[in-house]
Amino acid sequence: MSQISLSFPDGNSRDYPAGITAAEVAESIAPSLAKRAISANLDGRHIDLAWPIAESGAITINTMKDEAPALELIRHDFAHVMARAVQEIWPDVKVTIGPVRDHGWFYDFDRKEPFTPEDLGRIEAKMKEIIAARDPVRTEIWDRERAIAHYKGQNEPFKLELIDRIPEGEDVRMYWHGEWQDLCRGPHLQNTGQLPADAFRLTHVAGAYWLGDASRPMLQRIYGVAFRNKADLKAHLTMLEEAAKRDHRKLGREMELFHFQEEAPGMVFWHPNGWTIYRELEAYMRRRLTRAGYKEIKTPQVVDRILWEKSGHWEAYRENMFIVEVDEEGAKEKRTNALKPMNCPCHVQVYNQGLKSYRDLPLRLAEFGSCHRYESSGSMHGLMRVRGFVQDDAHIFCTEDQIEAECASFLDLLGSVYADLGFEKFDIKLSTRPETRVGSDEIWDKAETALEAAILKVRNDFEVDPGEGAFYGPKLDFKLTDAIGREWQCGTFQVDFNLPVRLDAEYIGEDGGKHRPVMLHRAILGSFERFIGILIENYSGKLPLWLAPRQVVVASIVSDADDYVRRVVDALRAAGLRAEADTRNEKINYKVREHSVGKVPAILAIGMKEVEAGTVSLRRLDSQGSRTLSLEEAVAELSAEAAPPDLR
């Protein structure tokens, strides 16, 4: 029997017969390790303990202490156990797919009757029975014909379609959890009893089209969350409760910021208060970009498909584009245009006007560009995922030698902006070439090397995300952490050697010859709509004074104070504050409660005592008490606080 060599994290290596399993490797190291083992990593690939190992490599044995592989297995096994529980309760239900997702999993079912909250309780109870049974998990590889015959016999049409989608030559792997069987790539735990029965929860049910295709059957998707222990589950559920309180859609209604309606799906109707936030954020970003050397431009929203074909977006992004057909006068056929889903090709057109010299580079072109992308109705979510949005987009045209400096200056700008907006922490991911891409491997090698060198000059605490780059170049993605620990991917920095070639961008080099510039795609907020949603949730609607749409309300306690209320409002407005009067015939406590629900940061209460003394009673949002200040002191304090962070 042939031998293979396996190396371990401590640097040692051992020889084993080819075909040995990771479970047997663990047993050879220590019986105690074998008992604690849940999976292994072989040359970085997560593998099942039961899979035979045919070739030499580097191996690591995982236990429940290894968070990432443990959570992947726990959540994947819970998906299978949930599907088994559903079919044990309702044998006629058809199963489809059940992938792992953030914090948990989902599984799609074909069932005539809708699942109810009571059903979720029944499923949870059945899952706990399955866990308590400690049923073994086993796996086999079947030939395609046997798998097809099996699922025909089981009357599982969705599984038959999944088999058709498995590429020829790829294994058709089967898993059993007890007697219940599923088509799955794995890996999985070794028995159902390894799942933490007190660390999962089924959360909700939603509709989902089969394979995300609106022309296919509508299924029922059950979502669940799972963790390694009860404490982590409790912390997550507490976070979800807090997130529900902070939901920007709920706060948007309470603060009268925006709304959506069926006549314009995925498009925002901004109300005066919401548009005030938008304009303040845009003005702030415009000042920051101007100081950083960007030149603002504006490009068309409707562009002929010819440009999208040249850029490569038509092939790579066509299904997400809104098409506009125009009957041009005298034309034999309609002219096909598209609402722009991104700004990049249009920015190259601006660059291409007039001959550029190396002395003109780097050239930083910025646009608050209005874009449209088709999102399915099921994927849209308030401001967080829309069809119409505005990007704080910019493209830097530079030489290869300037990439590192531009990356460093962008990171400084991005970090400063995030700090101004209340986000001190952000993580970076370096995403490399995807399977579907434009350009040669030589160009991609050059782009990835340049981007990695650029980020290493500034920071080395980044993760690599293989295969997740844009179709035209590798990228850095920036993830913010909000007040309750959630991550949001917002900013991006992308190195593109391909688009300048496809769209014929050039500059005259120091040698007098023509050269291609490098195009750096970058954004900080990502989209104004989504970022405003993130801001609302991060601050729970209690925005900093400079961003708050209604900064100060001056409320009368008695009607005799109304004239003074108006004078106070005039003084605040003269100082640049967004101030309004509330002289309604309502009690002051009612007014305070109402404006607190509207998240007004400062309320000035005015009674006859304040009128006679020329003072105001200042109450801050969520404060139990108030302070008495002279009108001049109140105006000075509030106007200083209301200054945007870049103007202080």
Q: Which residues form the catalytic set?
A: 344, 373, 391, 393, 395, 475, 521
Look up residue 159 and give its two tokens.
């599984």
Pairing type for strands 579-582 and 552-556 reads parallel
Q: Is 236 annotated as a binding residue?
A: no
Q: How far apart (Å, rounded) are the C-alpha atoms in residues 589 and 601?
A: 16
Q: How far apart (Å, rounded) are the C-alpha atoms in residues 462 and 430?
A: 7
The one-letter amino acid code at 628 reads: T
Q: How far apart (Å, rounded) are the C-alpha atoms in residues 40 and 29?
A: 13
Q: Is 344 annotated as a binding residue?
A: yes
Instruction: Enumerate the β-bridge partners of residue 52.
Output: 21
What does each C-alpha distance from 142 to 184, 260, 425, 443 come to in angstroms?
12, 50, 48, 41
Q: Is 188 annotated as a binding residue?
A: no
Q: How far apart (Å, rounded) are the C-alpha atoms in residues 372 and 394?
A: 17
Contact (CB, 8 A) for 256 and 273: yes
Contact (CB, 8 A) for 498 and 443: yes
Tell me which residue of 534, 542, 595, 583 sits closest to 559, measured CA to CA: 583
Write 3-10 long-range contacts (CB < 8 A, 24+): 4/53, 4/54, 4/55, 4/56, 4/57, 5/56, 6/53, 6/56, 6/57, 6/58, 6/59, 7/57, 7/58, 7/59, 8/58, 8/59, 8/60, 9/60
Q: Which runs of consecutive H residues, i.e. helices, occur in 247-385?
A: 248-254, 272-291, 305-311, 313-317, 344-351
Q: How far apart (Å, rounded) are the C-alpha atoms in residues 572 and 569?
A: 5
Helices (H) and strands (E) in the chain, counts: 20, 35
> How far does CA 405 lie from the centroid of its chain?
28
Residues in the annotated binding site for Zn(2+): 344, 395, 521
Residues in the annotated binding site: 344, 395, 521
